């Protein structure tokens, strides 16, 4: 059996970045992945925008609500509400292959080709020095890595009043895409009252996005088709599968899909990686000198817990509390739909509570158009007929404010691996996430502040929706960084304590989870961990 | 379309009329039936009573929907309405009922009237739902 120099587990944002670093350094690398791909053969017309499709395409329902109506979810609002049928494979098979039992935490994981990156909102915010330090990361190394990742994935951004919160030292980016009228008005109001807003601790600016506004060799510049929730056809927005597809051209890279990595064991000469071959359900083994786990923080926790097999072991858990607030900007009432529109977050609003960048919460502002009225109508206690008329009129004035808040470890947040005879792996992850009353009251206080500041900009909150813990899809801290050689913790360079050759390339090590979307930082950290593995 | 689906076809017709004031086209009816076949549910006693009442009295649909929205928001009747809402919204024939159109400021009064009607439907509907479920 061949011994690979490196095995990377997972094809998501972190796996893709770690693998690229290894492969470009010339290392013989194998990527192991479940790698579920899109099933539907139905393709969105490439030359049309969202409104054009809505008015003309006979079979639009196939991708707007799904051939099997899988895009029309009913019941309580929960995680992944914005995931449309063309991206539904993001969550495929997770309930069967990687089950989670919980009454307090409802995470989203992915076994898709590209992992959670399939549905990533492409926001790229840098961690500040204080945030990086609290998370256990070396800020200087992170800054270099941010630049490398930015070159790889392509970022558009703007230097503005919030740049110290969003961009840090990043300088290799393209100009931001144009905002729609809704957000242009909000930014104008903020700019007029900027000093007052800043005094209250609020800073607003353009959201840095992994979207290119100038075409490159194989990626087209962003075309404002408003199909961001449905299609990656022009490749203007970065997705990790693009990196993996590209790596497949290298002779020192091998991709093996259809396998679920379950555990590892370290031998004298190599590390043995055990998988379930999903085609026949049989065990499949791979060997490597060094193993990089990039299977998402819950996935890496599962693998580590199984591999170390410590009865009753618990790992910590971090998750950004998240709520979203549909707001109304009355000056937009009666406007028609905009043909050209940016579907991603357009503005970021930071609340720097202590003015020292150590305790920042962040809201992302989105317009509402391509996710259609039926999703809105489900969330209000009105009859559907009147809801349709009201939302048709109101939707151009609607701004969705998604508030992310930071998270720190506490006793009530943890994971355990429990026996589960119905599961393919014979176990399932039991998750507990109980916030303290102080945490809850602090979150509510922040949410009220956001609602108040939006009011000052003449944007009024309609409803505060809590989709439940886990809905942010931002998780970390399951194998936290530690200077002590404690089992189920990670060394600062990414090496898993208790192992000689297993590195953690995802966010499992973070000891603090800043409110800013963490994907950009996860990718930067994955690059650093891969470099550490190469240099060790 | 099989004859066994005549009930569902009738639902598609009255739901479409209620939601957008139009007669459902053939494809909408087919998609609605397929959507129900894809996610079959066992109707409980209350859902059966409401469905049977509204098929006999389609004009009460607005009140029943409004009443259910607060009394039993996840009821099967609401799920079916929601399904056809999504189907209609993704049918090019009906785009003008869903895509925002530039409106004159005076249209705000119509919207306010719709809002008031919505509250009226809710008040009457809450009582009606309770009466039907008695």
Backbone angles phi, psi at A274, to 5 degrees: -100, 135
Burial class (CB in 10 A: 0-12, 13-18, 19+), A333: middle
Q: Is A507 on the interface with B (CB under 8 A)?
A: no
CB proximity B36 to A under 8 Å: no
pLDDT of residue A169: 86
Q: What is the pLDDT of residue B3?
A: 55
Which of B21, B33, B61, B89 has the most A C-beta neighbours within 10 Å, making it the best mutation to test the interface with A?
B89
Shortest alpha-carbon distance between residue B2 and chain A (Å): 19
Note whether A102 contacts B: Cβ–Cβ < 8 A.
Answer: no
A381 reaches B (C-beta below 8 A): yes
Residues of B in contact with A372 (CB under 8 A): 86, 89-90, 98
Query: Which residues touch A392 (CB under 8 Å, ≥6 apart)?
Result: A373, B97, B98, B99, B100, B101
| Interface membership of B65 toward A (CB under 8 Å) | yes
Q: Does A60 touch chain B (CB under 8 A)?
A: yes
Do the Cβ atoms of B99 and A381 come within 8 Å? no
Q: How far apart are CA A190 and CA A454, in angstroms?
A: 9
Candidates A57, A61, A383; nearest CB to B66? A383
Q: Does B100 touch chain A (CB under 8 A)?
A: yes
Which one-letter DSSP state was computed for residue A465? B
Nearest CA in chain A to B102: A336
* Among the partner residues B38, B62, B73, nearest to A385 by beta-carbon distance: B62
Interhelix angle B76-89/B26-38, rounded to 10 degrees, is: 130
Instruction: Please check whether residue A372 touches B, CB under 8 A.
Output: yes
Among chain A residues, the shortest Cα distance to B92 is held by A55
**Whether pLDDT at B1 is above 60:** no
pLDDT tens per residue, range B74-133: 999 999 999 999 999 999 999 999 999 999 999 999 999 999 999 999 999 999 999 999
Residue A277, number of CB atoms within 10 A of its CB: 13
**pTM, full prediction:** 0.94
* Chain B environment of A72 (Cβ under 8 Å): 35, 82-83, 86
Decide if pLDDT at B2 tops 80.
no
Closest partner CB to A385 (pick from B19, B35, B78)? B19
pLDDT for the residue A82: 79
Of A68, A382, A393, the CB nearest to B103: A393
Contact B101 A392 (CB under 8 A): yes
B33: distance to nearest CA of chain A, Å?
11
Q: Which pLDDT score, from 0 to 100, does residue A45 have?
A: 86
Query: What pLDDT is attached to residue A353?
Result: 81
pLDDT of residue B134: 85
Least CB–CB distance from B69: residue in A61, A382, A389: A382
Q: A273 with A261: CB under 8 angstroms?
A: yes
CB contact under 8 A, A71 and B114: no
Cα-flanking dihedrals φ and ψ of residue B31, to 5°? -65, -40
C-alpha distances in angstroms, A154 versus A20, A226, A234, A250, B16?
15, 19, 14, 21, 46
Distance between CA atoms of residues A511 and A449, nearest Å:
27
Minimum-distance CB partner of B108 among A333, A335, A337: A333
CB-based contact B38 A68, cutoff 8 Å: yes
- Rounded to the nearest angstrom, the minimum Cα separation between B14 and chain A is 12
* Chain centroid to CA B134: 22
Q: Kindly give the residue spans of alpha helices, DSSP state H, lying in A321-456.
A: 373-377, 384-394, 437-456
CB contact under 8 A, A388 and B83: no
Answer whether B120 touches A (CB < 8 Å): no
Strands A347-352 and A202-206: antiparallel
Phi, psi of B47 (to 5 degrees): -60, -40
- Distance (Å) of CA A429 to CA A97, A499, B34: 11, 22, 36
Looking at residue B80, what is its pLDDT?
96
Q: What is the rounded distance in angstroms from the CA atom of residue B109 to the CA atom of residue A407?
A: 45
CB distance from A208 to chain B under 8 Å? no
Report pLDDT for A315: 96
pLDDT at A222 (0 to 100): 95
Among candidates A57, A337, A393 on the partner chain, residue whose Cβ is nearest the Cβ of B111: A393
What is the structure's pLDDT at A197? Answer: 95
R_g of chain B computed on alpha carbons: 16
Low-confidence ranges of chain A (pLDDT < 50): none
- Asked if B124 is an interface residue toward chain A (Cβ–Cβ < 8 A), one would say no
Listed in order, strand segments (DSSP E) in A241-293 are 253-256, 259-266, 271-277, 283-293
CB atoms A392 and B81 under 8 Å: no
Chain A residues in contact with B69 by the CB 8 A cut-off are 381-383
The verdict on B38 touching A (C-beta cutoff 8 Å) is yes
Residues of chain A in contact with residue B18, where contact means CB-CB under 8 angstroms, are: 385
CB pairs under 8 A between A and B: 129
- CB < 8 Å to A385, chain B: 18-19, 62, 65
Give yes or no for B123 touching A (CB within 8 A).
Answer: no
pLDDT digits (tens, 9 = 90+) for B29-73: 999 999 999 988 888 899 999 999 999 999 999 999 999 999 999
């Amino acid at each position: 059996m061949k011994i690979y120099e490196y095995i990377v587990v997972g094809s998501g944002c972190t796996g893709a970045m770690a693998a690229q670093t290894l492969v470009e350094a010339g290392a013989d690398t194998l990527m192991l992945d479940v790698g579920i791909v899109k099933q539907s053969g139905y393709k969105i017309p490439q030359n049309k925008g969202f409104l054009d499709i809505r008015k003309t395409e006979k079979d639009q329902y196939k991708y707007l609500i799904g051939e099997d109506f899988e895009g029309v979810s009913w019941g309580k609002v929960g995680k992944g509400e914005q995931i449309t049928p063309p991206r539904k494979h993001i969550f495929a098979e997770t309930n069967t292959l990687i089950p989670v039992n919980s009454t307090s935490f409802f995470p989203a994981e992915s076994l898709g080709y590209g992992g959670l990156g399939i549905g990533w909102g492409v926001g790229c915010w840098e961690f500040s020095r204080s945030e990086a330090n609290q998370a256990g990361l070396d800020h200087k190394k992170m800054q270099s890595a941010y630049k490398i990742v930015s070159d790889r994935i392509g970022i558009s951004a703007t230097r503005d009043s919030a740049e110290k919160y969003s961009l840090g030292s990043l300088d290799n980016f393209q100009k931001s895409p144009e905002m729609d009228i809704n957000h242009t008005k909000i930014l104008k109001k903020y700019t007029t009252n900027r000093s007052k807003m800043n005094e209250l601790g609020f800073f607003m600016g353009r959201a840095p996005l992994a979207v290119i506004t100038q075409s490159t060799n194989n990626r087209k510049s962003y075309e404002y088709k408003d199909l961001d929730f449905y299609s990656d056809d022009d490749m203007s927005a970065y997705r990790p599968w693009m990196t993996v597809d590209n790596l497949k051209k290298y002779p020192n890279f091998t991709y093996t899909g259809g396998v679920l990595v379950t555990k590892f064991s370290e031998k004298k000469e190599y590390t043995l990686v055990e998988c379930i071959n999903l085609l026949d359900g049989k065990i499949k083994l791979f060997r490597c000198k060094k193993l990089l786990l990039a299977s998402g923080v819950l996935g890496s926790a599962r693998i580590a817990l199984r591999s170390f097999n410590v009865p009753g072991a618990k790992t910590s858990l971090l998750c950004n509390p998240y709520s979203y607030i549909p707001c109304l900007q009355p000056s937009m009432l009666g406007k028609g739909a905009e043909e050209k529109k940016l579907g991603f977050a357009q503005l970021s609003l930071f609340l720097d509570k202590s003015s020292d960048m150590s305790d920042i919460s962040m809201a992302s502002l989105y317009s509402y158009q391509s996710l259609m009225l039926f999703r809105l109508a489900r969330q209000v206690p009105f009859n559907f007929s009147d809801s349709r008329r009201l939302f048709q009129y109101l939707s151009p004035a609607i701004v969705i404010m998604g508030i992310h808040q930071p998270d720190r470890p506490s006793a009530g947040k943890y994971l355990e691996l429990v026996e589960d005879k119905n599961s393919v792996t014979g176990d399932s992850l039991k998750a507990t996430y109980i916030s303290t009353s102080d945490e809850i009251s602090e979150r509510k206080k922040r949410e009220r502040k956001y609602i108040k500041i939006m009011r000052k900009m003449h944007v009024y909150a309609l409803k505060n929706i809590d989709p439940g813990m886990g809905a942010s899809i931002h998780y970390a801290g399951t194998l936290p960084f530690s200077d002590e050689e404690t089992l189920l913790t990670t060394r600062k360079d990414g090496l898993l304590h208790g192992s000689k050759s297993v590195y953690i390339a995802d966010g499992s090590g973070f000891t603090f989870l800043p409110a800013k979307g963490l994907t950009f930082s996860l990718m930067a950290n994955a690059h650093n961990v891969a470099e550490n593995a190469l240099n060790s | 379309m099989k004859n066994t689906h005549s009930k569902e076809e009738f639902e598609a017709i009255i739901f479409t009329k209620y939601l957008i004031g139009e007669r459902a086209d053939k494809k909408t009816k087919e998609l609605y039936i397929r959507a129900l076949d894809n996610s079959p549910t066992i109707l409980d006693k209350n859902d059966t009573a409401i469905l049977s009442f509204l098929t006999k009295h389609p004009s009460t649909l607005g009140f029943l929907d409004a009443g259910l929205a607060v009394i039993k928001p996840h009821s099967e009747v609401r799920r079916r309405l929601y399904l056809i809402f999504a189907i209609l919204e993704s049918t090019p024939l009906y785009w003008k009922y869903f895509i925002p159109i530039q409106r004159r400021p005076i249209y705000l009064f119509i919207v306010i009237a719709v809002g008031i009607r919505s509250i009226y439907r809710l008040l009457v509907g809450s009582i009606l739902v309770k009466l039907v479920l008695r």
